[in-house]
Amino acid sequence: MAFLGQLTANVQAQLNNVRPQLNSVLQTATRARDNLAPILNRATAQLDSLGKMLQVTGDRKQSPIDILSTVTAFDNTLKDSEIGINYPVNGEARLKNAGDSLQLQLDPSSKAELSMSHLGEEKYVLETVYFHWGTEPMNGSEHTIGGVGYAGEIQFIHRKSKFPNLEAAFKEENGILAVAVLLNESHDDNPTFSTIIDGIKQVVYKGSECVIYGVNLLQMLPSLGSSSGILLNQFN
């Protein structure tokens, strides 16, 4: 027992001798971490922005898509096409934090629909709205135009009305119709998104969700003039 007591005392003495050195090493490491943090944060933001701008898939039919004016042709058959949009202007929806995006899931009873004359009489039912944004004015959108990203993007995901749900529609060609709206950063608040922003406070963690009211999806679309060939059908 005397031997163990002496051994313990020796070990404790050694620890006491190296403790100041360990404290010094820890303090140096902490200072280095604090000094590197801003640099790493800036580098991460720059890489994120660059990745958004250069993220182009080999298949132009798959997201993310970079729209290049040099290889984009205007289809004259679409000039007189009419688009009928029947979205709720004061609806109820479920807001969900999906981790990589914010999702707005519509109540099936809302019957939000979209139709296009060049697609025949087929109607597309709006199921989910996705919101994407980033840390910089040009790295928030999933899609880009000429390699340039935007501060954010809203994606309206529709299924062909003959399918019962998105899962079934995804399995069929042309079963899904998506409308993307690219967002620019503004110094002024946009009241259209006030309901969404208020709801974000209730879905801070991934997987959390809440019900929000007074959602006006029509106002989230770009302003369209009377000569645009767009038909907007509103309902409450």
Residue type, 157: I
The residue that leads in pLDDT, 162 or 26, is 162
Angstrom distance (rounded) from CA 124 to CA 126? 7
pLDDT: which is higher, 43 or 202: 202
Of 75 and 229, more confident: 75
Q: How far apart are CA 204 and CA 96, in angstroms?
A: 9
pLDDT digits (tens, 9 = 90+) for 47-73: 444 444 444 444 555 667 888 888 888
The whole-angstrom separation of Cα 206 and Cα 38 is 26
Is the pLDDT confidence value at 208 over 90? yes
Residue whose pair of structure tokens reads 């645009």 in the numeric block: 228
Share of the chain above pLDDT 70, in %: 71
Report whether 105 contacts 128 (CB < 8 A). Answer: yes
- Write down the residue that tokens 């609806």 correspond to: 91
Lowest mean pLDDT among 12-21, 54-63, 185-194, 198-207: 54-63
Rounded Cα–Cα distance for residues 92 and 211 (Å):
7
Task: Give the model's confidence band at 186: pLDDT under 50 very low, under 70 low, under 90 confident, else very high.
Answer: confident
Q: Residue 24 pLDDT more than 90?
A: no
- Residues 181/157, Cβ–Cβ less than 8 Å: no
The encoded tokens of residue 170 equal 């995804």
CA dihedral 109, 111, 112, 116 (to 10 degrees): 170
CA–CA separation, 21 vs 18, rounded Å? 5
Mean pLDDT computed over 19-29? 72
pLDDT confidence tier of residue 227, bands split at 50, 70 and 90: very low
Inform me whether the pLDDT recorded for 226 exceeds 60: no
Mean pLDDT of 150-172: 89
pLDDT band (50, 70, 90) for residue 117? confident
* pTM metric for this prediction: 0.67
Which residues lie closer than 8 Å to 32 by C-beta, 6 or more apart? none
**Mean pLDDT across 97-107:** 88
Contact 112, 106 (CB under 8 A): yes
How far is it, in rounded angstroms, from Cα 123 to Cα 205?
A: 35
Across 182-195, average pLDDT: 87
Quote the percentage of the chain above a pLDDT of 90: 13
pLDDT at 81 over 90: no
Q: What is the pLDDT, as a whole number, of residue 103?
A: 92
Q: Which residue has the higher pLDDT, 160 or 52?
A: 160
Predicted local distance difference test score (pLDDT) of residue 228: 39
- Please report the pLDDT score of residue 57 as a whole number: 45
Mean predicted confidence (pLDDT) in 151-173: 89
Residue 125, SS3 per DSSP: strand
Integer Cα distance of 180 and 166 in angstroms? 17
